[in-house]
Amino acid sequence: MKTWVTQLRKGLIEYCVINVLNGSESYGYEIVVQLKELEVMDVTESTVYPVLTRLKSDGYLKVRSEPSKSGPPRRYFSLTKLGQQRLQEMNTYWDLLNESIDTLRQSNGAA
C-alpha cells in the first residue's frame, strides 16, 4: 500500500505544480507552501524543485527573476503556451481517469 501511494504521489507532483501555476505566476517557496496544504500529497522541497527544473527545461515553464529583499533574486515561474496545452491535456486525462475508475468501482459495487 505504501509503495503504491508513493508512486501515485510521485506521478501527480508534476500535475499539481502545473495546476498551481494555472493563470498566475509564483515563486518556489510559495509553490511549496501551497502544495504542502494538500496534506494527502505529502509534498516537500526535494520533490518540487527538481520537478520545476525539469518542467522548465522541457519548455512547459518560463522563469522571470526579480530582486528580493530576503536574499538572492526570486525566480517567478509561469506556464508557457506549451505548459498551458499540457495542463489542458492533463486535466482532460484526469477527468477521464476519474470517471473511468468511478464507473469501475460502481459496477463492482464499491462502498
Q: Which residues bind other proteins (CB under 8 A)?
A: 27-30, 32, 44-46, 49-50, 52-54, 56-57, 68-75
Closer to other proteins at the Cβ: 70 or 108?
70
Three cell numbers written together for 45: 522541497
Least Å distance, CB 59 to other proteins, is 13
Report which residue type is found at 62.
K
Give min distance, CB of 75 to other proteins, in A: 6
Q: State how far the Cα of 60 lies from the Cα of 18, in Å rounded to an integer.
A: 9
Least gap, CB of 43 to other proteins (angstroms): 11
Please state, in angstroms and rounded to a whole number, the distance separating the CA atoms of residues 86 and 93: 10
Please identify, using beta-carbon distances, which residue of 39 and 111 lies nearer to other proteins: 39
CA angle 21, 52, 44 (to 5 degrees): 95
- Which residues have a Cβ under 8 Å from the Cβ of 91 and sit 6 or more positions away? 19
In the complex with other proteins, which residue's Cβ is closer, 27 or 87? 27
Nearer to other proteins, 2 or 107 (CB): 2
